[in-house]
Amino acid sequence: MTVRTTVRLPEELLQRAKRKAAAEGRTLTSLIEQGLRLVVSTTAKPQMSGRNDPPVSTASGGLRPGLNWENLSLLVQELDDLEYAERTKRFK
């Protein structure tokens, strides 16, 4: 049994959906139905772990030597120093 209902959508989204349905040679209703079926049938996303590890370089096999990941202000200072050195190279 099908039921009629009213939904409110942003104009831009509705226009994109109509264009996609037309390009696929189908009705807007069938496009919306397929989308809703996809959304309600998927399982919940896995929970993210609480860890946020710094990136590991694949080139050297580990974190850059000499960087203290516990004190990010030192990292910021080092990056500033590297940028300054690059800028001064241009003028030599």
The chain-wide mean pLDDT, for the chain, equals: 80
Q: Which residue has the tokens 């139905």?
A: 33
| pLDDT higher than 90, residue 41 | no
Looking at residue 46, its amino acid is P
Instruction: Give the pTM.
Output: 0.46
What is the pLDDT at residue 84? 81
> Structure tokens of 57?
């370089």
- Specify the higher pLDDT residue, 27 or 59: 27
Residue 15 has pLDDT above 80, yes or no: yes
Tell me the DSSP string of 29-75: HHHHHHHHHHHHHSPPPPPPPS--PPP--TTTSSSPTT--TT-HHHH
